[in-house]
Amino acid sequence: MKIVCIGGGPAGLYFALLMKKLGPQHEIRVVERNKPYDTFGWGIVFSDQTMEAMQRWDPESAGHIKQAFNHWDDIELHFKERVIRSGGHGFVGIGRKKLLNILQARCEALGVELVFEHDAGSDLDYPEADLIIASDGLNSKVRTRLAQVFQPDIVTRPNRYIWLGTNKPYDAFTFLFEKTEHGWVQAHIYKFDENTSTFIVECPEEVWRAHGLDQADQEQSIAFCEKVFAKNLQGAKLMTNARHLRGSAWLNFQRVTCKQWSHFNGNSHVVLMGDAVHTAHFAIGSGTKLALEDAIELVRQFTERGDRAECIAPVLEQYQGLRAVDVLRLQNAAWNAMEWFEVCGQRYCDPLEPEQFMYSMLTRSQRISHENLRLRDARWLQDYERWFARGSAVSDGRPPMFTPFSLRSVTLKNRVVVSPMAQYQCLDGRVADYHLVHLGARALGGAAMVMAEMTCTSADARITPGCPGLWNDAQMHDWARIVAWVHQHSDAKIAMQIGHAGAKGSTCVPWQGGGMDQPLPTDNWPLVAASAKPYLDGGPLPRAMDRADMDRVRADFVASTLRAAQAGFDWLELHCAHGYLLSGFISPLSNQRTDDYGGSLENRLRYPLEVFAAVRAAWPAHLPMSVRISTHDWVQGGITPADAVLIARAFKAAGADMLDCSSGQVSPHQRPSYGRMYQTPFSDRIRQEAQIATMAVGAISEADHVNSVIAAGRADLCAIGRPHLANPAWTLTEAARIGYPGLAWPQSYEAGKAQLEAGFARERSLQAQSAASQERVA
Ligand SMILES: Cc1cc2nc3c(=O)[nH]c(=O)nc-3n(C[C@H](O)[C@H](O)[C@H](O)COP(=O)(O)OP(=O)(O)OC[C@H]3O[C@@H](n4cnc5c(N)ncnc54)[C@H](O)[C@@H]3O)c2cc1C
Ligand SMILES: Cc1cc2nc3c(=O)[nH]c(=O)nc-3n(C[C@H](O)[C@H](O)[C@H](O)COP(=O)(O)O)c2cc1C
């Protein structure tokens, strides 16, 4: 085959050499516009894992790279006059020039033709080639020419960064955070040879402009960075090697993805590789890894399917199919890490103490969990657990999930709450034996608090005929029996969630009417809502509430609150989420009023806040109140997480103790991005920016998740829903699974504790043995 690689970066060179190794008969040329030793940037870093793959595919180049690289394990944070260091992270650093020179030399030794100082105009310039690798980097000309085919999506991110170097030695991946008069500026630093370290400086656009860096040339920019980080640099100089860039060398990161990765241009197959097809932010340091792994995968496909011209089309199809999945996974993690650095100045730097800031930074991609950190540096994590536990007034270093948490006069024994979950098992709004067993079992299951499902403030406030209520005293006495049972037989607290269904009322019990939100065929009741807008397209039309309706509904909320207090509940939650009545006022998708209760967010919040204030005044002052909101409508034009911060601030000002951060269900047209802990970032944002306690909820399904969320300060409590449907004793089970013996079991169940713990201990030791034997095999 005749192969041309346009661009001699890591992707093009590595593919060329691996392919030449596979079939020495192939004519392979790499066309590079720069001179052989001329390149941008300083050092790059990749993980031990990438190095292992390179060792398997080409031990010769891997050997040279290993000799040249710097290996280190530690990450060091310099923040608020403190230095914190943790180990076990495993990186290798190498100069970009050095890496390219090794790959160039290996290409030459194998007989790849290297053409330097030639700017390739287009893939069409090489009609004789069977295969053209477009490895021409971020600003790929080939991708731009064939944009209709490749359909690139390029997102320019808001932060500014500059890639500098220094001769000051650093022996850890070092992060510096400095507060300037215009905001926080950070540096990411790593050593890549004996005397040189990469020194990337980053800050938000507004901080950059406020410092006049938009007007600064490279010398002035360097002077600025030297001044900001003078304390750390101690006289060492910063250097640039981007003098070829005109004017300022400050860049914005561009995230590139492409729908299609390859194309036949009439003469040749053209395929994108490396930065030309995908980029990963330097916060996760994986751009070179992705480029090298692309090259490996494409060669692997040729190895398996045959390295002949007729094999190219299926090989390219398979290459994209396999790589796209891995790349997306890494880009998602890189996105979280990138966002963390984009918002850290406004979200984390001021409120978090150095210990927690370090934890939050290390887990920024949400790929590294609490237990991953333990594997990396058990001692550091143990110290951190001790530090965290001290903040909750416990002296042992128990996992964060099992630390107590207090609000007003209530202390929860740990951070797990059974999320409210409608059961549709009531007649006339009355709970009976079903709820006694359902809530009682979960109260015995180790969670610190069980929250009753949405309980309605009037008969016409119900979602379905099976929903519970608190609109009469008989209902109050039914609840009082359950509350008393929970208090007598468990050490769990019990919370009441009150709500009104609004436009989503008068629907069937899900298993009787073909799913959620389906209107009752008969015996409907009239609906009220913020506006006369049905929830489902073509669904039953609610009446827009007038002032008299508002007064009546507010009075119903107050009456239910008084009954909840009389029934003995420990905690009250006001349901302002999921498109029900109060949520329907908050979201612009459902509130189209033109009076004082519609229009701006301030107006849309007016009635929910009015209800909140009346309820708070009726609820005993020594007991806490949380508010559940939908932090994201997942629909264009709906509530966004930025709005949710304003909503949280408003409820906080009105006296709310905690925001319970759910999302969605406000519109049937929602397009949520589900995934592990997918709503936790909204809780994190609200907690830091509105400075209020939060409860995270949604796809939190392991102790490891709860520990990471709580330890990083992304929430104060975690509500666990569906896992509690599968296992009422979810918290007891998870404690045993992670080997934490300190959670007390109900006396009568005690005999089961040691047995469960022994079972999990055996499982952990088998896993450890199998990991050790795999290591020996490898
Ligand atoms: C600040 C910063 C820090 C980074 N840190 C890391 C890190 O720590 N770890 C990591 O893995 N990655 C890092 N990266 C990313 C990494 O540099 C890239 O992901 C990686 O270089 C991609 O390799 P590539 O071969 O696809 O593209 P490139 O390395 O960009 O190579 C493309 C080559 O094509 C050449 N070229 C372009 N157009 C033409 C043309 N028309 N004709 C001929 N030649 C052409 C260019 O001159 C260049 O040599 C960082 C990037 C930045 C910006
Ligand atoms: C069967 C069921 C009923 C639910 N009922 C309520 C409810 O009454 N009130 C409420 O705020 N959320 C309700 N939810 C949402 C849950 O409280 C929780 O937010 C959601 O299930 C996501 O958490 P999970 O991934 O841990 O299940 C319900 C969820 C389920 C599965």
Residues whose CB falls within 8 Å of the CB of residue 331, separated by 6 or more in sequence, listed in order: 255, 257, 278, 280
How far does CA 100 lie from the centroid of its chain? 34
What is the spatial distance between Cα 273 and Cα 138, in angstroms, rounded to a whole number? Answer: 10
Q: Residue 593 pLDDT more than 90? A: yes
Is 285's C-beta closer than 6 angstroms to any atom of ligand 1? yes
Q: Which of 421, 450, 457, 680 to mutate to test the pocket of ligand 2 (most atoms within 8 A of CB)?
A: 421
Ligand 1 lined by 624 (C-beta under 6 Å) = no
User: What per-residue string of b and e applies to 242-271 under the rule 16 or more CB within 10 Å gives b?
Assistant: eeeeeebbbbebebbbbeebbbebeebbbb
The DSSP output letter for 112 is -
Out of 419, 451, 509, 674, mutate this one to test ligand 2's pocket (max ligand atoms within 8 Å of CB): namely 419
Nearest of 364, 294, 264 to residue 19 by alpha carbon: 294
**DSSP H or E run through 301:** helix 287-305
Is pLDDT at 99 greater than 80 in this prediction?
yes
Q: What is the pLDDT of residues 540-590, one digit of tens each?
A: 999 999 999 999 999 999 999 999 999 999 999 999 999 999 999 999 999
| pTM of this structure | 0.91
Q: Which ligand gives the minimal distance to the CA of 463?
A: 2
- DSSP for 589-609, please give it: TT----STTSSSHHHHHHHHH
Give percent of the chain with pLDDT exceeding 70. 97
| Structure confidence by residue, pLDDT tens digits, 698-756 | 999 999 999 999 999 999 999 999 999 999 999 999 999 999 999 999 999 999 999 99
Rounded CA-CA distance 112/95 in Å is: 23
Reported as a pLDDT band with limits 50, 70 and 90, residue 246 is low
pLDDT surpassing 80 at residue 248: no
Backbone dihedral region for residue 712 (phi beyond 0: left; psi -120 to 50: alpha; all else: beta): alpha
Q: How far is the CA of 685 from the centre of ligand 2 (A)?
A: 21
Q: Give the separation between CA 345 and CA 610, rounded to whole angstroms.
A: 34
CA distance 53 to 43: 20
For the cut 80, the answer to whether the pLDDT of residue 454 exceeds it is: yes
- The mean predicted confidence, pLDDT, of the chain is 94
For residue 577, give the ligand 2 atom closest to its CA.
11
Res. 40 pLDDT band, cuts 50 70 90:
low
Contact 74, 317 (CB under 8 A): no
Q: How many angstroms from the chain centroid is the CA of residue 711? A: 15
3-state secondary structure of 449: strand
pLDDT for the residue 39:
62
Q: Which two tokens stand for residue 428?
A: 């006339």
Q: Which of 161, 190, 348, 580 is catalytic?
A: 580
Q: Are 715 and 696 in contact (CB under 8 A)?
A: yes
Cα distance between residue 662 and residue 649, in whole Å: 16
Q: Which ligand does the CA of 466 lie closest to?
A: 2
Answer whether 464 contacts ligand 2 (Cβ < 6 A): no
Between helix 703-711 and helix 378-391 the angle, nearest 10°, is 70
DSSP state string for 454-479: EEESSGGG-SSTT--B-SSHHHHHHH
- Residues present in the chain in total: 778
Q: Which atom of ligand 1 is nearest to the CA of 161?
A: 1
Name which of 325, 307, 301, 93 is nearest 196 in CA terms. 93
The pLDDT, as a whole number, for residue 51 is 86
* 563: amino acid identity, one letter: R
Structure tokens at 698: 């949604």
Question: 63-72, 136-145, 378-387, 750-759: lowest mean pLDDT where?
Answer: 63-72
- Nearest-CA residue for atom 19 of ligand 1: 287
Instruction: Output the six-digit token pair for 341.
Output: 């650095």
Is 46 a pocket residue for ligand 1 (Cβ < 6 Å)?
Answer: yes
Tell me if 662 CB under 6 Å of ligand 2. Answer: yes
The position carrying tokens 């967010």 is 601
pLDDT confidence of residue 20: 97
pLDDT tens profile 114-135: 999 999 999 999 999 999 999 9
Q: Is the CB of 575 under 6 A from ligand 2?
A: yes
If DSSP codes are grouped into helix, strand and coil, which group holds residue 204? strand
The closest of 734, 656, 669 to 695, measured between CA atoms, is: 656
| Atom of ligand 2 lying closest to residue 719 CA | 26
**Helix (H) or strand (E) run with residue 186 in it:** strand 183-193
pLDDT at 244 over 60: no
Residue listed under structure tokens 């050499």: 17
- Residue to substitute in 5, 15, 32, 298 for testing ligand 1 pocket (most ligand atoms within 8 angstroms of CB): 32
Q: What is the Å distance from ligand 1's center to 38 Cα?
A: 13
- Asked whether the predicted pLDDT for residue 245 surpasses 80, the reply is no
| 93 ligand 1 Cβ < 6 A | no
Distance, in Å, from the CA atom of 198 to the CA atom of 192, rounded to the nearest integer, reads 7
Distance 118 CA to ligand 1 centre (A): 17
Whether the CB-CB separation of 344 and 186 falls below 8 Å is answered with: yes
Find out whether 116 and 36 touch, Cβ atoms under 8 Å: yes
44 ligand 1 Cβ < 6 A: yes
**For the packed helices 680-689 and 641-653, what is the interaxial angle rounded to 10 degrees?**
50
Do residues 270 and 291 make contact, with C-beta atoms less than 8 angstroms apart?
A: no
Q: Is the CB of 421 under 6 A from ligand 2?
A: yes
72: closest CA among 48, 55, 50? Answer: 48
For residues 165 and 144, the answer to whether their CB atoms sit within 8 Å is no
Q: How many CB atoms lie within 10 A of CB 397?
A: 16
Assess whether the C-beta atom of 288 lies below 6 angstroms from ligand 1.
yes
Region of 112 please: left (phi>0), alpha (psi -120 to 50) or beta: beta
Q: How far is residue 17's CA from residue 9's CA, in Å, rounded to a whole number?
A: 12
Distance from the alpha carbon of residue 709 to the mean position of ligand 2, in angstroms: 19
Packing angle of the helix pair 680-689, 312-347 (nearest 10 deg): 20
In the reported structure, the alpha carbon of residue 138 is separated from the centroid of ligand 1 by a whole-number distance in angstroms of: 7
- 685: closest CA among 628, 646, 711? 646
Query: Which amino acid, one-letter code, is at 3?
Result: I
Q: Strand 43-47 and strand 91-95: pairing? A: antiparallel
Stretch 349-354: mean pLDDT: 96
Q: Is 580 a known active-site residue?
A: yes
Task: Give the distance (Å) from ligand 1 centre to CA of residue 714.
Answer: 34
645 Cβ below 6 A of ligand 1:
no
Q: Which helix (H) or strand (E) holds 160?
A: strand 152-166
Q: Which of 322, 274, 278 is nearest to 11 (CA)?
A: 274
pLDDT in tens, 153-188: 999 999 999 999 999 989 999 999 999 999 999 999
pLDDT at 247 > cutoff 70: no
Amino acid of residue 376: R
- Measured CA to CA, the distance from residue 540 to residue 526 in angstroms comes to 9
Whether 680 has a pLDDT exceeding 80, the answer reads: yes
The token pair at 614 is 């009346």
Give mean pLDDT, residues 481-497: 98
Whether residue 41 is predicted with pLDDT greater than 70 in this model: the reply is: no
Average pLDDT for residues 435-446, to the nearest whole number?
98
Strands 152-166 and 238-239: antiparallel
Q: Residue 272: phi, psi to the nearest 5? A: -85, 145
Give DSSP secondary structure letters for 686-741: HHHHT--EEEEESS--SHHHHHHHHHTTS-SEEEE-HHHHH-TTHHHHHHHHTT-T
Say how far apart CA 490 and CA 450 lie, in whole Å: 11
Q: How far, in Å, CA of 426 to CA of 442, rounded?
A: 19
Nearest C-alpha neighbor of 698 from the set 721, 664, 670, 673: 721
Interacting residues of 144 by C-beta distance below 8 A, sequence separation 6+: none
Instruction: Find, among 62, 31, 29, 34, the residue nearest to 48 by Cα.
Output: 62
Q: Are 534 and 503 spatial neighbours (Cβ–Cβ below 8 Å)?
A: yes
In degrees rounded to 5, what are phi and psi of residue 570?
Answer: -90, -20
The two three-digit tokens of residue 320, written as one number: 């994209």
Q: Where are the beta strands (DSSP E) in 557-664?
A: 571-576, 625-630, 658-662
List the structure tokens of 96. Answer: 């970009």
